[in-house]
Amino acid sequence: MELGITGLPKSGKTTVFQALTKGRGEKAAHPSVGATHGIVKVPDPRLWTLAEILKPKRTIPAEVKYIDIGVPLKGAGAQHLAQLSTADALIHVVRVFEDDSVPHIEGSIDPERDIITMNLELILSDLAITERRLERLNSALKGAKPQEREANLKEQALLQKIKSALENEVPIQEQGLTEQDAKYIENYQLLSAKPMLLLLNIGEEQIPEAASIKARFQHHSRPHCDFAVLCSKLEMELAELSGTEADEFRTAMGLESSWLEQVIRLSYRLLDLISFFTIASDEVKAWTIAKNTPAQKAAGKVHTDMERGFIRAEVIGHDELISCGSIAEARKRGLLRLEGKNYIVQDGDVLTILFHI
Ligand SMILES: Nc1nc2c(ncn2[C@@H]2O[C@H](COP(=O)(O)OP(=O)(O)O)[C@@H](O)[C@H]2O)c(=O)[nH]1
Ligand SMILES: [Mg+2]
């Protein structure tokens, strides 16, 4: 899973990235032009409770990749936004913090205006891609064979529809496309079609008002668009402390649980993702899949051979396994279910996949 961080210049994108990746991102050769990538392990307490009872040699969390685009001082621009095209979802960092030493590109601090401005940038980038594709389709149509022609005309109609909505400043997420149409345009990797997490980047002194600040942005909440509050500068500093030190600091500041973990969890929810676990050869591992994934396809996450040669899966829910204490005990109690290829994997399932090569 890849999450691209977007936002106006000096909204705190790099600070958020550093907080999330604890400064471990792989730097691009020229940070001003290239994107920086960082891998984050998804905090999932269920994985640790499994490790506690199964005592594997290795415990491997699921991973999320974050992309921080390098942007020259002038502004975002389509070329830079294109670095986010591979992302599955966007984190849109919105500047709420006040700091005179960090001048804002638009002058005053106005998060609502910035959200609109940034959304417009995404729309313009999509519009450029859509127009280019339409031009290419037009020339392709001239020499097209009858069966190609039909497919081309269909695509043309869809893109025309999307283009006029974009011209009316409606992001693709809000265009009410059918699932089939949305799937069809997936390979264009259009930015306003991606789920989005609005991240309100507040200053330390705004922490006591976090809840009321968040409430002001409630109207942005809709399917595939969620929002969260983060004091990225503080989180970046906390990321440098040990876990316990950071926790003590959080308690002292009145921050209940890690807001960063919340950001990662929200991005999961935004994408309708769930986790399942495998336990094999001394390894407990978490995997990320979309909700409603059948067992055979889920097996393909682990290994393509497992998908191809899938026979069945032995399944038990995380909580059930924990209460049994071991797989052997679960088997004795008859709690390991045998499921076929069409079984819909549930969040927290522990899977043992049986397959032939
Ligand atoms: N006072 C304050 N400064 C912040 C906060 N978040 C980011 N900054 C500062 O804002 C400047 C721009 O942040 P940066 O992450 O580089 O923004 P980017 O251009 O969006 O990547 C840096 O000097 C940060 O230290 C914050 O919460 N409070
Ligand atoms: Mg930056």
CATH H superfamily, domain 273-355 = Beta-grasp domain (3.10.20.30)
Residues 299 and 353 sit within 8 Å (Cβ to Cβ):
yes
From the list 262, 261, 183, 258, the residue with the least C-alpha distance to 226 is 262
DSSP 25: P
Residues 72 and 33 sit within 8 Å (Cβ to Cβ):
yes
Residue with structure tokens 């039909």?
Answer: 150
Choice from 13, 69, 102 to test ligand 1 binding pocket (greatest atom count within 8 A of CB): 102
pLDDT reported for residue 24: 64
DSSP 222: B
Is the pLDDT score of 169 beyond 90? yes
Is the pLDDT score of 74 beyond 60? no
For ligand 1, whether the C-beta of 203 sits within 6 Å is: yes
Is the pLDDT score of 50 beyond 60? yes
pLDDT reported for residue 144: 84
Q: Ligand 1 centroid to 233 CA: how many Å?
A: 7
Residue located nearest, by CA, to atom 19 of ligand 1: 10
Which of 256-270, 289-303, 337-351 is predicted least confidently?
256-270
Q: Ligand 1 centroid to 15 CA: how many Å?
A: 6
Is the pLDDT score of 354 beyond 80? yes
Round the CA-based radius of gyration of the chain to a whole number and report it: 23
CA atoms within 13 A on the CB side of 223: 6
Tokens of 15: 């600070």
Is the pLDDT score of 249 beyond 90? no
Tokens of 120: 């417009």
Residue located nearest, by CA, to atom 4 of ligand 1: 233
109-146 pLDDT, tens digit per residue, is 999 999 999 999 999 999 999 999 999 999 988 888 88
Residue type, 279: I
Average pLDDT over residues 163-176: 96
Is the pLDDT score of 75 beyond 60? no
Tokens of 211: 């809840």
Q: Which residues in the chain belong to E strands, given as ranges? A: 2-6, 36-41, 58-60, 63-68, 89-95, 196-201, 225-230, 273-280, 283-290, 310-317, 337-339, 349-355
299-313 pLDDT, tens digit per residue, is 999 999 999 999 999
pLDDT reported for residue 355: 95
Is the pLDDT score of 230 beyond 70? yes
179-216 pLDDT, tens digit per residue, is 999 989 988 999 999 999 999 999 999 988 999 999 99
Is the pLDDT score of 27 beyond 70? no
| Architecture category of domain 120-190 in CATH | Orthogonal Bundle (1.10)
Residue-range domain boundaries for the chain: 2-42+62-108+193-270, 120-190, 273-355
Q: How confident is the model at residue 73 (pLDDT cuts 50, 70, 90)?
A: very low
Residues 56 and 47 sit within 8 Å (Cβ to Cβ):
no
Is the pLDDT score of 38 beyond 50? yes
DSSP H or E stretch at residue 46: helix 45-54
Residue located nearest, by CA, to atom 11 of ligand 1: 10
Residues 92 and 226 sit within 8 Å (Cβ to Cβ):
no
Q: Ligand 2 centroid to 63 CA: how many Å?
A: 22
Q: Ligand 2 centroid to 285 CA: how many Å?
A: 33
Average pLDDT over residues 47-61: 93
Residues 113 and 106 sit within 8 Å (Cβ to Cβ):
yes
Return mean pLDDT, the chain: 89
Average pLDDT over residues 334-346: 96
pLDDT reported for residue 278: 95
Residues 316 and 354 sit within 8 Å (Cβ to Cβ):
no
Average pLDDT over residues 84-103: 91
**The domain over range 2-42+62-108+193-270 is classified in CATH as 3.40.50.300:** yes
Residue type, 337: R
